[in-house]
Structures are given as structure tokens and as C-alpha cells.
């Protein structure tokens, strides 16, 4: 697959003389004219550039930037997507380069990461590695050095990620679920998340993230990484503490809808390729979220009305619940094999099944908007974090073991 040349991708940005933050391009931030390091400033051979993206992250962003500066990471670019808090002012106060995205173009995390990378590579063209970090994550003190050591020793590896954990898994069942989701298997993997160390030349070669994707841009990029013959590693090392702050069911629901949207979009792009990207996830969501409920509901309606009740209807009413129970039990056993306690494993299995409905809604939303020629736009589940909470509760210890999405 050729490198992407879409608006908001590094290749497109270069073609337009610097992209969103370069020179006097539209959307350029004043930081390019006086704030942050200059391109002429010497760059250490082992330097790891960092791109942080955020929107109204408040104290979460403060923790993120301070954790990076404490371990000597940098140069650092913070890309802001229209925050109304003091994120921009705080970042500049630390000497971080700031890029404000053009508000006339729809925001996506992919677009933000690309804009940050383009600003880094414009100022520091010899930079070899870039660490992408979400602004709601605190980076472990030893992560940058460890990840750089691993990727430098493996010429065939394009990206390295590690253990992301939830900051407060005990705060809600939704945070607990996220904590289990982050703890995936280690070794050579098919995809990474938003916190990852990339080789700059490879990232540029591939054209960066697809800036139109509102979610799932990391797995989509990883498909292209593997198609080019590169590898992705997840190593046994602490990487980031994430602050999902999911305390309400509605937040979890929105996040699941967004996940289904990403499944559909990813499958539309690569489902026919050798990786069959997101085909299984999409079909699973549609079967358990649409087909089986419709089948069961129809059989129940016929049975209640006394119309056509017979062996077929009885079999449907008996077997559909069995299908759900079997799938949930499979997810439960997976978590138990990874060492999760029975209560957490049961929670995971139950929400795997419950999540199929919002995922199906996300899939339908993608295809409906695509047929109408509309753009879905952001699906945000998180509320703004007040900066006044800085120094609030310390990180809770994460206890979940390895796992994978069902």
C-alpha cells in the first residue's frame, strides 16, 4: 500500500510546505515563532522526540508532561485540539512546543499525532525516534530509555509499546474493564495503542496515521506496518498510567459505540486484504448485537402470540441464551488463565456480551454516514479535567493481568 497522502498526514503536510504548524501555514501556532526549541539547536544522537495530544486534559496533561521532562525526553510537541482550559498556557510554561490544530478541520487523534510529528521532523529532521503519548497518560520513569534500547537493537522493528495500566481501576467497573483491556500479551503483536515509540523514517514512509479516522487509527497503521515487512513489539515493561475517568455507564457506552465505528471503518479499508483486518470483530458484534437478539425476539413474539410455536421456535429460545453464555464463559476463562480473580473475569465476560449492542450501533453509524456522504466526527466519552485537581489522589496500583479484547 502506498503512503497516505491525505490532508493531515505527514506526507501531505510536507507537500504543502510544513503542514499545520510549519512556517506560516494555516493553523500554525505562535510557538513556531519564538516558543520552544529551535531547529538549529543541537540534537543528541539518542534523543527521543515526543508528541503529546490532548483536549481539556487539565491535571492529566500536567502529569504527562512532567513525567516526560523528568526523564529527559524531548524535544516535546504538545498538539492541542481546541482546549478551553489552560492546557496550552501550561505547556508553554514548561518550554514545550505547542501546535494548535486548525478548528475549521474536524479534530481526530490521528490528525493531532500527524501534526505533532510533522512539527518535530520539520524542526529536527535528524530525529530517529518519536514517542506518541496521549495527554491523559503519565509515562513511567524508565520507559523512554527502555523502549529506545529495544528498538535500536532490532532493525526489523518499527514500533515498540509496553504495559499501559489504568490509574484508578478500583474507581469504577468501567475503569477496571479498561485496565484489563490495556494489559495485552507481550512479544511480537499485530497492533499497538496510542502510546508507542516509532522509528521516524518508517512512520514517514508509511504516511503516518489516517487523519480521517475518529478511532482505530493505531491498528490501521499497524496493518500497513506489517504489510511493509516491519514488526511491532510489546515488551514486558511499564509504559504509562492512563486516566480513563470512566465513572458512568453512558461513558462506557459511548466508548463502545466508537469502538464499533472503528471496527467497521478498519474492515472497509483492509478487510479484503491478507490480514482480514477487523472482520472477526465486526462480524462478532453484528451476530451478538443484532442477529441473535432479533432471532430471539422474533421467536419470543411468536411464542407469546401462540403463532407457529414448535420445535424451531423452542430451539431458538433455548439455544440463543446458550450461545451468549458460551461466549461469555470463553471470555471468562481467558481472563482466569491470565490470573484475574473470578469476580473480575466474570465482569469482563458479561461486558463483552453487553458491548456487542453499542458496537453494532457504531458499525451502523459508520455505514449510514458513509452512504450519506457524511463524516461521523468525534465521539468523546471523557469530560474536561479541572486543573485545580493537580496533586489529587495518587495512582492506584493496577492488579489486572494480561488479556485481549473479546
The string of pLDDT tens digits covering residues 104-120 is 888 899 999 999 999 99
Distance linking the first and last C-alpha atoms of the chain? 29
Q: Quote the pLDDT of residue 349.
A: 96
CATH annotation of 10-246: 3.90.550.10
Distance CA 29, CA 78 (A): 11
Distance CA 20, CA 119 (A): 8
Distance CA 334, CA 256 (A): 20
Q: Quote the pLDDT of residue 339.
A: 79
Q: Quote the pLDDT of residue 36.
A: 46
List residues bridging with 157 in a β-sheet.
231
List residues bridging with 197 in a β-sheet.
131, 160
User: Which residues of the chain does CATH 3.90.550.10 include?
Assistant: 10-246
Distance CA 111, CA 221 (A): 13
**pTM of the shown model:** 0.82
Q: Inter-axis angle of helices 249-270 and 217-227, to 10 degrees?
A: 30
Regions of the chain short of the pLDDT cut 70 = 1-42, 308-309, 383-406
Distance CA 271, CA 282 (A): 10
Q: Quote the pLDDT of residue 260.
A: 97
CA atoms within 13 A on the CB side of 17: 4
Q: Quote the pLDDT of residue 180.
A: 92
pLDDT tens digits for 132-181? 999 999 999 999 999 999 999 999 999 999 999 999 999 999 999 999 99
- The full DSSP string for 276-291 is -TTHHHHHHHHIIIII
3-state helix, strand, coil in the chain (%, to 5): 50, 15, 40
- Cell numbers at 5, concatenated: 497522502
Amino acid at each position: 500500500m502506498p503512503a497516505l497522502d491525505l490532508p493531515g498526514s505527514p506526507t501531505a503536510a510536507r507537500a504543502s510546505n510544513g503542514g499545520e504548524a510549519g512556517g506560516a501555514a494555516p493553523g500554525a501556532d505562535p510557538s513556531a515563532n519564538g516558543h520552544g526549541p529551535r531547529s538549529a539547536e543541537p540534537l543528541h544522537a539518542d534523543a527521543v522526540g515526543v508528541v503529546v495530544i490532548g483536549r481539556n486534559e487539565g491535571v492529566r496533561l500536567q502529569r504527562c508532561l512532567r513525567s516526560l521532562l523528568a526523564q529527559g525526553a524531548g524535544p516535546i510537541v504538545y498538539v492541542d485540539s481546541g482546549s478551553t482550559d489552560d492546557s496550552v498556557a501550561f505547556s508553554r510554561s514548561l518550554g514545550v512546543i505547542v501546535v494548535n490544530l486548525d478548528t475549521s478541520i474536524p479534530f481526530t487523534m490521528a490528525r493531532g499525532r500527524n501534526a505533532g510529528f510533522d512539527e518535530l521532523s520539520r524542526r529536527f529532521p535528524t530525529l530517529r525516534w518519536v514517542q506518541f503519548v496521549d495527554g491523559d497518560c503519565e509515562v513511567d520513569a524508565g520507559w523512554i530509555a527502555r523502549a529506545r534500547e529495544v528498538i535500536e537493537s532490532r532493525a526489523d522493528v518499527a514500533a515498540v509499546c509496553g504495559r499501559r495500566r489504568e490509574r484508578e481501576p478500583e474507581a469504577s467497573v468501567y475503569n477496571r474493564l479498561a485496565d484489563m483491556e490495556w494489559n495485552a500479551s507481550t512479544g511480537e503483536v499485530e497492533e499497538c495503542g496510542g502510546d508507542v515509540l516509532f522509528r521516524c523514517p518508517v512512520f514517514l514512509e508509511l504516511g503516518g496515521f489516517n487523519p480521517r479516522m475518529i478511532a482505530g487509527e493505531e491498528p490501521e497503521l499497524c496493518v500497513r506496518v506489517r504489510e511493509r515487512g516491519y514488526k511491532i513489539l510489546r515488551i514486558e515493561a511499564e509504559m504509562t498510567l492512563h486516566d480513563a475517568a470512566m465513572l458512568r455507564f453512558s461513558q462506557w457506552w459511548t466508548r463502545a459505540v466508537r469502538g464499533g465505528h472503528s471496527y467497521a471503518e478498519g474492515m472497509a479499508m483492509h478487510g479484503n486484504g491478507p490480514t482480514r483486518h477487523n472482520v472477526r470483530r465486526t462480524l462478532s458484534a453484528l451476530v451478538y448485537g443484532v442477529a441473535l437478539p432479533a432471532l430471539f425476539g422474533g421467536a419470543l413474539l411468536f411464542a407469546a402470540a401462540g403463532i407457529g410455536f414448535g420445535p424451531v421456535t423452542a430451539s431458538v429460545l433455548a439455544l440463543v441464551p446458550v450461545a451468549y453464555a458460551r461466549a461469555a464463559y470463553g471470555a471468562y476463562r481467558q481472563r482466569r488463565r491470565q490470573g484475574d480473580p473470578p469476580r473480575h473475569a466474570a465482569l469482563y465476560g458479561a461486558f463483552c456480551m453487553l458491548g456487542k449492542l453499542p458496537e453494532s450501533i457504531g458499525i451502523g453509524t459508520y455505514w449510514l454516514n458513509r452512504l450519506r456522504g457524511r463524516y461521523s466526527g468525534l465521539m468523546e466519552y471523557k469530560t474536561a479535567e479541572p486543573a485545580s485537581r493537580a496533586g489529587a489522589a495518587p495512582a492506584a496500583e493496577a492488579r489486572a493481568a494480561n488479556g485481549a479484547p473479546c
